């Protein structure tokens, strides 16, 4: 029986030996074969010039020829491993920002809003489908959509069906994840009262206006009046630069309230305004309805504020008052960022009445009214939120056409403070809100009890002292 034995010679020529005496054949190992399973065989080294192989003598007549020597193959370099590329993570979907805001549900006893209208703020991540699901089954009709600059939000106006109350609609809408909040379309009224008394234009003397006009008359300032429309054809306003805009939602503009405010600010004929060279931006947001009531609402006022931003208004006169309104409050915070100075009437509901707005917001300059003896107006709202007092009782102001009328209220006092702010800004161009407030406070004459109180607070500003705060 023949037995095959595999040998590997290191550094020597592989030799084939045939040994007949032992009956065994020795053969060289071939590449690819191994000893034990799973082991890689050792490689046989080949010399550069291999010697011819020899064989042992054979008993047969003819000798077995030696195999031809194998030519050494050049050693191939190992392949260069390819650099592994970092695995890229799958792109992530952008995070969805969920906006939050206090509920717009009004207090139980609050009724000063449009009974059939609603303002809704949706999540910016919502789409038409999710918004439609939110309003499904309510039967509400879309009236419009607007982006309001000062509060920095986009909101929708809806009309409610007769069988759906504002409060119920808000509750149901705010339960939807597509809705940030919903609120009523609040109502605001002008803050004035008619008067039958006939007095001269005493208010200008109370704030020392003639001395102030020796230094500035309000040039290079813009005063925005959000009110009823200003009658620019009135003879007292003939020399005033007036740009007029109307954002009302119907009704008439027969109420002269806005014209009266403009006259206090810039009249320049028989009457002298506080800042006669200031430019007026008249923005009609209030109108008179069929019942004779003059009012504006959240939506029209937000529209008016957009106009004010577009027209680069410096001073914002708001001679009206109403309920607290989250959208309006947000807008007043935006006015501060724009360095727009909002001035508002404290209201004419009496000293025991609740705070009215926008005068109640921290970012707004709030104004009460006084008479020719520096006594506070009997119907004026009071409270620690009020900043200044100004003439506002029995004032001679502009009426319809070329007429004049007498009136009282914190509305007219507001116009005096707006005018003094314009004078101060004209004399100190570039002053910010904080500085202007400080100049007014330092110029004020204390009224009532010594120091700040809930009636006059900082007192009555004097125009010459306010405008001279940085000039002296």
446 within domain boundaries: yes
**Contact status, residue 219 vs residue 426, Cβ threshold 8 Å:** yes
Question: In terms of domains, do 389 and 367 share one?
Answer: yes
383 within domain boundaries: yes
Question: In terms of domains, do 351 and 246 share one?
Answer: yes
Which tokens in the block code for residue 201? 């234009």
Instruction: For residue 405, give the nearest of 308, 290, 260, 294 by alpha carbon.
Output: 260
Q: State how many domains the chain has.
A: 3
Question: In terms of domains, do 120 and 4 share one?
Answer: no
Question: In terms of domains, do 364 and 336 share one?
Answer: yes
Question: In terms of domains, do 252 and 294 share one?
Answer: yes
127 within domain boundaries: yes
- What CATH number should be reported for the domain holding residue 200? 3.40.50.200
291 within domain boundaries: yes
Question: In terms of domains, do 355 and 210 share one?
Answer: yes
**Contact status, residue 273 vs residue 264, Cβ threshold 8 Å:** yes
Question: In terms of domains, do 154 and 208 share one?
Answer: no
Question: In terms of domains, do 298 and 345 share one?
Answer: yes
Question: In terms of domains, do 293 and 360 share one?
Answer: yes
Which tokens in the block code for residue 177? 């994840």
What was the pLDDT predicted at 58?
Answer: 46
The Cα 12–Cα 1 span in angstroms is 29
The residue from 187, 219, 240 where one domain ends is 187
The residue from 187, 213, 238 where one domain ends is 187
290 within domain boundaries: yes
- What CATH number should be reported for the domain holding residue 141? 3.30.70.80
pLDDT tens digit at each of 472 positions of the chain:
443 444 344 343 343 333 333 344 443 444 334 443 343 444 444 444 444 444 444 444 444 444 555 555 555 555 555 565 666 666 676 677 889 999 999 999 999 999 999 999 999 999 999 999 999 999 999 999 999 999 999 999 999 999 999 999 999 999 999 999 999 999 999 976 655 443 357 889 889 898 999 999 999 999 999 999 999 999 999 999 999 999 998 767 789 999 999 999 999 999 999 999 999 999 999 999 888 889 999 999 999 999 999 999 999 999 999 999 999 999 999 999 999 999 999 999 999 899 999 999 999 999 999 999 888 999 999 998 999 999 999 999 999 888 999 999 999 999 999 999 999 999 988 899 999 999 998 888 877 656 565 565 667 888 888 988 654 4
249 within domain boundaries: yes
State the residue range of the domain holding 292: 191-467
What was the pLDDT predicted at 81?
Answer: 55
What was the pLDDT predicted at 350?
Answer: 92
The residue from 160, 187, 214 where one domain ends is 187
Give per-residue burial for 191-223: e unless 16+ CB within 10 Å, then b: bbbebeeeeebebbebbbbeebbeebbbeebbb
Question: In terms of domains, do 231 and 374 share one?
Answer: yes
Instruction: For residue 365, give the nearest of 335, 393, 344 by alpha carbon.
Output: 344
Question: In terms of domains, do 341 and 195 share one?
Answer: yes
66 within domain boundaries: no
Burial of 439 (0-12, 13-18, 19+ CB in 10 A): buried
Question: In terms of domains, do 181 and 244 share one?
Answer: no
57 within domain boundaries: no
């Amino acid at each position: 029986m023949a037995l095959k034995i595999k040998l590997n010679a290191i550094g020597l020529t592989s030799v084939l030996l045939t040994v007949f005496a032992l009956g065994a054949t020795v053969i060289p190992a071939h590449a690819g074969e191994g000893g034990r399973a799973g082991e890689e065989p050792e490689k046989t080294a080949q010399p550069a010039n291999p010697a011819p192989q020899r064989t042992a003598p054979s008993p047969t007549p003819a000798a077995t020829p030696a195999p031809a020597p194998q030519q050494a193959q050049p050693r191939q370099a190992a392949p260069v491993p390819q650099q592994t590329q970092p695995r890229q993570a799958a792109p992530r979907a952008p995070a969805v920002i969920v906006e939050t805001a206090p509920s717009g549900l009004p207090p139980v006893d609050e009724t000063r809003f449009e009974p059939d209208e609603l303002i809704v703020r949706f999540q910016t991540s919502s789409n038409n489908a999710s918004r439609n699901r939110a309003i499904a089954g309510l039967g509400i009709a879309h009236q419009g959509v607007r982006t309001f600059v000062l509060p920095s939000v986009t909101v929708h106006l809806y009309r409610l069906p007769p069988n759906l109350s504002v409060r119920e609609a808000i509750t149901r809408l705010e339960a939807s994840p597509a809705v940030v909040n919903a609120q009523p379309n609040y109502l605001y009224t002008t803050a004035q009262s008619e008067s039958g008394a006939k007095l001269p234009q005493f208010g200008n003397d109370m704030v020392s206006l003639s001395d102030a006009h020796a230094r500035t008359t309000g040039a290079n300032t813009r005063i925005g009046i959000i009110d009823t429309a200003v009658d620019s054809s009135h003879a007292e306003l003939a020399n005033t630069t007036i740009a007029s805009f109307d954002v009302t939602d119907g009704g008439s503009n027969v109420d002269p309230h806005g014209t009266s405010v403009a006259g206090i600010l810039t009249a320049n004929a028989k009457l002298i305004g506080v800042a006669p060279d200031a430019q007026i931006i008249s923005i009609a947001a209030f109108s008179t309805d069929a019942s004779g009531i003059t009012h504006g609402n959240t939506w029209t006022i937000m529209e008016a504020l957009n106009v004010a931003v577009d027209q680069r208004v410096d001073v914002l006169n708001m001679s009206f008052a109403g309920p607290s309104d989250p959208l309006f409050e947000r807008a007043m915070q935006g006015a501060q960022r724009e360095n727009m100075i909002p001035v508002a009437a404290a209201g004419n509901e009496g000293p025991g009445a609740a705070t009215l707005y926008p005068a109640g917001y921290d970012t707004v300059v709030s104004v009460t009214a006084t008479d020719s003896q520096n006594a506070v107006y009997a119907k004026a709202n009071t409270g620690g939120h009020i900043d200044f007092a100004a003439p506002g009782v029995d004032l001679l102001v502009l009426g319809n056409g070329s007429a004049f009328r007498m009136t009282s209220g914190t509305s007219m006092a507001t116009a005096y403070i707006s005018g003094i702010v314009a004078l101060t800004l004209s004399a100190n161009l570039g002053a910010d809100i904080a500085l202007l407030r400080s100049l007014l406070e330092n110029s004020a004459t204390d009224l009532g009890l010594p120091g700040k109180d809930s009636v006059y607070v900082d007192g009555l500003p004097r125009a010459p002292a306010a405008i001279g705060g940085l000039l002296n």
